[in-house]
C-alpha cells in the first residue's frame, strides 16, 4: 500500500483498479486475468466500504456530541454513547450481497490509520473534552473524508461491475467456463 496517509490517499490497489488501462481490451484478455482483476476490484471495494464505515462511526460519535451539547443533555458514559451510535448500523443502501470480510491485517490497519487521520488531535473516547470549534472542524473533516471515500468506492464498484459483466458474457457464451476456476 501507499505510504500516503489520510482518508483520501489511494492505496496502490485503488490506483491500479481506477486506472483506465485496468479495463482496457477486457474482451481479449484471458479469463484468468479477468477473474484476477475482478477479485482485485472486489478487495478494493471491501477496503473502501470498511474504511467508509470506520469514518462514519467517528463521524457519528462527533455528531452525537454536537447534538448533546446543543440539546443540553447530560453526558452519558462512553459505552452507552458507542452503543447508541453503533446500533444505527451503516448508512446508505447495500448491494444486496452477503457481507464478506476478505480484508488482510494490513488492509485493516491501513483503514484504521486513515480513519484516525481524519480526526487527528481529537480524543474519540472523550469528545466532551474538546472545544466547540475543534468539534466542528472534526465533524466537517469527517464529512469531507466520507464524501471522498464514497466517491472512490462508487468508482471501484463501477469497475467491479464491468468486470463481472464481462465474466457473465463469457459464461453465457460458454457455460463450461463457469465450472473452470472461480
Per-residue pLDDT of 143-165, as tens digits, reads 999 999 999 999 999 999 999 99
Instruction: Give the pLDDT confidence score for residue 1 in this predicted structure.
Output: 34
Per-residue pLDDT of 34-77, as tens digits, reads 999 999 999 999 999 999 999 999 998 888 888 888 888 776 66
What pTM does this model have? 0.81
User: So where are the chain's domains?
Assistant: 15-22+30-71+106-179
Per-residue pLDDT of 122-133, as tens digits, reads 888 888 889 999
Per-residue pLDDT of 71-119, as tens digits, reads 887 766 666 766 666 666 555 555 555 556 588 999 999 999 999 999 8
Which residues 6+ apart lie within 8 Å of 9 measured at CB?
2, 114
CA distance 23 to 10: 18
Average pLDDT in the chain: 84
Cell of 164: 463481472
Instruction: Give the pLDDT confidence score for residue 127 in this predicted structure.
Output: 85
Instruction: Give the pLDDT confidence score for residue 181 in this predicted structure.
Output: 64
CA distance 126 to 165: 47
Lowest-confidence region among 4-13, 14-23, 52-61, 147-156: 4-13
Amino acid at each position: 500500500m501507499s505510504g500516503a496517509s489520510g482518508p483520501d490517499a489511494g492505496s496502490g490497489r485503488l490506483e491500479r483498479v481506477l486506472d483506465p488501462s485496468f479495463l482496457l481490451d477486457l474482451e481479449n484478455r484471458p479469463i484468468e486475468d479477468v477473474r484476477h482483476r475482478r477479485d482485485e476490484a472486489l478487495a478494493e471495494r471491501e477496503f473502501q466500504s470498511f474504511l467508509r464505515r470506520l469514518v462514519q462511526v467517528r463521524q457519528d460519535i462527533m455528531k452525537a456530541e454536537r447534538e448533546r451539547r446543543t440539546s443540553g443533555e447530560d453526558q452519558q458514559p462512553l459505552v452507552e454513547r458507542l452503543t447508541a451510535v453503533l446500533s444505527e448500523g451503516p448508512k446508505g443502501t447495500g448491494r444486496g450481497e452477503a457481507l464478506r470480510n476478505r480484508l488482510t491485517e494490513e488492509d485493516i490497519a491501513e483503514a484504521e490509520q486513515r480513519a484516525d487521520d481524519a480526526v487527528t488531535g481529537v480524543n474519540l473516547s472523550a469528545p466532551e473534552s474538546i472545544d466547540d470549534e475543534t468539534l466542528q472542524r472534526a465533524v466537517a473533516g469527517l464529512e469531507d473524508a466520507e464524501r471522498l471515500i464514497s466517491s472512490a468506492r462508487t468508482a471501484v464498484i463501477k469497475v467491479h461491475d464491468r468486470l463481472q459483466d464481462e465474466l457473465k458474457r463469457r459464461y453465457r457464451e460458454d457455460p463450461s467456463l463457469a465450472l473452470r476456476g472461480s
